[in-house]
Each structure stands twice: as C-alpha cells, then as structure tokens.
Amino acid sequence: MLDKTQLIPENTLITNSPEEGRALAVKIARLTIKITQPNAEIRDQLRPVYANDAAMLIAIGQTVALEFSTISKANNYWR
C-alpha cells in the first residue's frame, strides 16, 4: 500500500513505446472515471451503457486522444 498511486500508474508519464503510451492513456482515462464514481457496482452498471452506445464510444475516443497527446509529448513522441 506504500506510496500507491490512484490516478497515474507508477506515477510516471514515460513509457517504452507508443503502444505502451497509448495503453497508459486508456488507463488514466478510466482512473478519472473511477475517482469520480468510486462505487464499483455502479461503474459495472454503466460499462454496458457506454460500450453499446456509438456516441459514447466516440466520446471515449476523444478523451483517449487528449490523454495520448500529453503522454506523446512527455515521451518526445518516442522519436
């Protein structure tokens, strides 16, 4: 439990590759939802709502794109 982070896994934006950076973007987007709705049961109920709704899937895509923009810059685009 020591020094455990809730919002940014491993407390860093630096990753080894674009793929890992993208996975981090997905993860931190989900962790924001978790902190806003801490009840796991309610989150479980909401999951099928957005996973089956075209508009919400697109909105999730926009969120991930925003997070990935930040992570990509942090990693100097893995150039």
User: Would you count residue 27 as binding its own copies (CB under 8 A)?
Assistant: no
Instruction: Read off the DSSP letter of residue 39.
Output: -
CB of 1 to its own copies, least distance (A): 14
Report how far residue 33's alpha carbon sits from residue 27's, in angstroms, rounded to the nearest whole number. Answer: 10
Report how far residue 35's alpha carbon sits from residue 37's, in angstroms, rounded to the nearest whole number. Answer: 6
Nearest 5°: phi and psi at 6?
Answer: -110, -25
CB of 2 to its own copies, least distance (A): 13
First to last CA, the chain: 35
- Per CB under 8 A, contacts with its own copies among 33-72 are 33, 35-37, 42, 46, 49-70, 72
Residues that bind its own copies (CB under 8 A): 5-8, 11-14, 17-19, 21-23, 26, 28-29, 32-33, 35-37, 42, 46, 49-70, 72-74, 77-79
